[in-house]
């Protein structure tokens, strides 16, 4: 019998040898965590953070920043450093990777301030070197959430440190780092407000989208702005005073800067995905029409480099994509030219409730994501399930030709084999007492550090272990009905 804390999905590159469009990238121990992936534009490299030594470098336990070459099968791994690296920014060819961390992977960040680090294809360097106002502000001061250009030269990020001697008041501002001239440019300049955060740099490095909080303290309603990087500032407001406005940790802007995706609240317990489209008369469109639900995961909408596809996750039912009565988290895609929604995962397990962060390659044919359980397409003969109350090994019912890679029959609580029904044998490994002991120990191991609103901060929470898979989403939605078709023939 196999034991897993949960499987996790990451979708990236598909080899011609693969029979399934879903490919698992990591295969770690039962209490390992691999989360927050970003995929390069060419779809050959995935950067993520993991508690497991997948690169075989040794060293103490803890999070590690990982670069995976998924252009080959099996994937190969390189450890960038012993550090957190939530949703690293990654260049088009995967050679340059930037992330923010309070850790000290190079021995140069002893004060634990949040700093920007850059892997330049050969080595890891520390880009910023700042100090908090005092030790009590270490959790809020620093440099956060970098975003990188396709060629790896420019990095945009938010910071409340005075990097260019123009931010003495310590507001959150948007800065851009030039890795060729080794210089910083302050893009925004605010006074008396929280400031600007969540910088998203377009692949061509011409535009930056960011969130502005005009309150004197962190507020629920914020603005989304789009600003050019060079020349006289030209600022466009994409969303004003939007409730619970949020962008994903990774890419949320197309390479040409013409399309931006985000989520915002439209009613109580109801958030939706939105798209700004400068290619079509600067329209702002609501992409989803999700129902209300008191508890849901962040939608984390991400966009492909060419701006044609969007991915997002939710525990709510998406119209036209089948029932989600168990309220498990599922990953979906939206094709902008056709207006078609597609369902990537279908796990049918109420225990799958952790955040799903996804990232798409340039043309949206491949999406990398972490997922809180084993997906059924992984094992042609057996499906491993783990829930807080039971550990079961279930037969895979097989796949029908021409259908999406999901179970042909739902695995519900009623038809899922329970441990007490397993045949007893002389081996203690099959006894109910052993299963109960393993289950209890597993529950103890599943209390881990998890990401919430600020990816650089952690909170205690019970989550499932996440692993990574590969999957070209649009190949799996050919049978999905049309949804949210555009009324504009100009949508390309």
The pLDDT of 406-418, averaged and rounded, is 31
Whether residue 481 is contained in a domain is answered as: no
User: pLDDT digit string (tens) for 106-153?
Assistant: 999 998 999 999 999 999 999 999 998 877 777 778 999 999 999 999
The reported pLDDT for the residue numbered 183 is: 97
The edge-to-edge listing of strands for the beta sheet with 270-277 is 259-267, 270-277, 283-286
Query: Who contacts 302 (Cβ-Cβ below 8 Å, separation ≥6)?
Result: 248, 250, 251, 252, 261, 310, 311, 312, 358, 359, 360, 367
Say if CB 242 and CB 224 are below 8 A apart.
yes
- Render pLDDT for 317-334 as a digit per residue (tens, 0 to 9): 999 998 888 899 999 999
Using CA atoms, how far apart are residues 170 and 156, in angstroms rounded to an integer?
18
Q: What's the order of all strands across the beta sheet hosting 97-101?
A: 89-90, 97-101, 115-119, 124-126
Instruction: Indicate whether 360 belongs to any domain.
Output: yes
Range of the domain at 346: 23-402+415-476
pLDDT above 90 covers a percentage of the chain that reads: 61
Whether 490 is covered by a domain: the verdict is no
In a domain, residue 254? The reply is yes
Residue 18 counted as domain residue: no
Compute the average pLDDT of residues 468-473: 47
Residue 222 DSSP SS3: strand
Q: Is the pLDDT of residue 94 over 90?
A: yes
Cβ atoms of 473 and 333 closer than 8 Å? yes
In this prediction, residue 347 carries a pLDDT of 82
Which pLDDT value is given to residue 458? 40
CB within 8 Å of 160: residues ≥ 6 apart: 140, 141, 142, 167, 170, 171, 172, 173, 195
Name the DSSP class of 214.
-
Task: Say if 14 falls within a structural domain.
Answer: no
Q: Which pLDDT score, from 0 to 100, does residue 258 have?
A: 97
pLDDT at 23: 84
Higher pLDDT, 423 or 77: 77
pLDDT of residue 355: 92
pLDDT at 35: 93
Query: Is residue 299 in a domain?
Result: yes
Of 337, 311, 308, the residue nearest 249 (C-alpha) = 311
Check whether 229 has a pLDDT greater than 70.
yes
Least confident of 4-8, 227-231, 355-359: 4-8
Report pLDDT for 345: 87
Q: What is the three-class DSSP state of 376?
A: helix
Where residue 189 sits, what CATH number does that domain have? Answer: 2.120.10.30
More confident residue, 249 or 488: 249
pLDDT band, very low/low/confident/very high, at 233 (cuts 50, 70, 90): confident
Instruction: State how many domains the chain has.
Output: 1
Average pLDDT, the chain: 77
Tell me what the mean pLDDT of segment 352-361 comes to. Answer: 92
What pLDDT does 409 receive? 29
Query: What are the residues facing 386 on neighbouring strands?
Result: 391
pLDDT at 397 over 80: no
Is the C-alpha dihedral spanning 74, 79, 84, 89 positive or negative?
negative
Q: Are 68 and 85 in contact (CB under 8 A)?
A: no
pLDDT at 434 over 90: no
Neighbours of 356 (CB within 10 A): 28
Rounded to whole angstroms, how far apart are CA atoms 146 and 118? 10
Yes or no: say if 416 and 390 are a contact pair by the CB < 8 Å rule: yes
The answer to the question of residue 366 being in a domain is: yes
Q: What is the mean pLDDT of residues 74-101?
A: 96
Q: Minimal CA–CA distance to 88: which of 48, 136, 28?
A: 48
């Amino acid at each position: 019998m196999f034991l897993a804390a949960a499987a996790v999905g990451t979708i990236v590159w598909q080899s011609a040898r693969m029979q399934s469009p879903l490919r698992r990238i990591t295969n770690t121990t039962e209490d390992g965590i691999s989360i927050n992936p970003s995929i390069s534009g060419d779809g050959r490299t995935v950067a993520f953070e993991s508690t497991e030594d997948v690169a075989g470098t040794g060293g103490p336990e803890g999070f590690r920043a990982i670069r995976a070459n998924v252009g080959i099968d099996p994937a190969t791994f390189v450890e960038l450093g012993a550090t957190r690296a939530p949703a690293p920014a990654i260049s088009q060819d995967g050679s340059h990777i930037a992330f923010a961390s309070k850790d000290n992977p190079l021995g140069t960040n002893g004060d634990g301030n949040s700093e920007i680090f850059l892997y330049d294809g050969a080595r890891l360097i520390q880009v910023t070197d700042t100090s908090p106002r005092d030790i009590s502000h270490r959790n809020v001061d620093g440099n956060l959430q970098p975003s990188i250009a396709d060629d790896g030269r420019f990095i945009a990020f938010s910071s409340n440190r005075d990097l260019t001697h123009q931010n003495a008041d310590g507001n959150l501002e948007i800065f851009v780092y030039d890795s060729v001239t080794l210089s910083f440019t302050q893009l925004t300049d605010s006074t008396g407000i929280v400031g600007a955060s969540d910088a998203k740099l377009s692949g061509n490095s011409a535009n930056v989208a960011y969130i502005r909080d005009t309150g004197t303290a962190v507020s629920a309603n914020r603005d989304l702005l789009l600003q050019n990087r060079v020349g006289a500032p030209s600022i466009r407001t994409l969303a004003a005073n939007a409730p619970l406005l949020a962008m994903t940790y990774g890419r949320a802007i197309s390479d040409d800067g013409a399309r931006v995706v985000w989520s915002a609240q439209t009613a109580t317990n109801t958030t939706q995905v939105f798209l700004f489209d400068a290619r079509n008369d600067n329209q702002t469109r609501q992409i989803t029409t999700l129902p209300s639900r008191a508890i849901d995961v962040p939608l984390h909408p991400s966009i492909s480099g060419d701006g044609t596809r969007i991915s997002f996750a939710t525990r709510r039912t998406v119209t036209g994509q089948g029932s989600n009565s168990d309220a498990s988290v599922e990953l979906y895609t939206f094709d902008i030219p056709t207006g078609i929604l597609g369902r990537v995962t279908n796990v049918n397990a109420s225990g799958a409730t952790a955040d799903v962060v996804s990232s798409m390659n340039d043309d949206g044919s491949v999406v990398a994501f972490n997922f809180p359980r084993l997906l059924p397409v992984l094992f042609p003969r057996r499906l491993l399930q783990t829930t807080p109350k039971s550990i079961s090994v279930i037969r895979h019912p097989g796949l029908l030709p021409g259908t999406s890679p999901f179970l042909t029959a739902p695995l519900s609580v009623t038809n899922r084999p329970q441990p007490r029904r397993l045949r007893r044998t002389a081996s203690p490994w099959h006894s109910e007492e052993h299963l109960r002991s393993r289950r209890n120990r597993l529950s103890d191991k599943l209390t881990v550090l998890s990401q919430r609103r600020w990816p650089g901060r952690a909170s205690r929470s019970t989550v499932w272990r996440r692993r990574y898979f590969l999957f070209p989403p649009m190949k799996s939605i050919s049978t999905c009905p049309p949804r949210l078709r555009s009324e504009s023939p100009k949508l390309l």
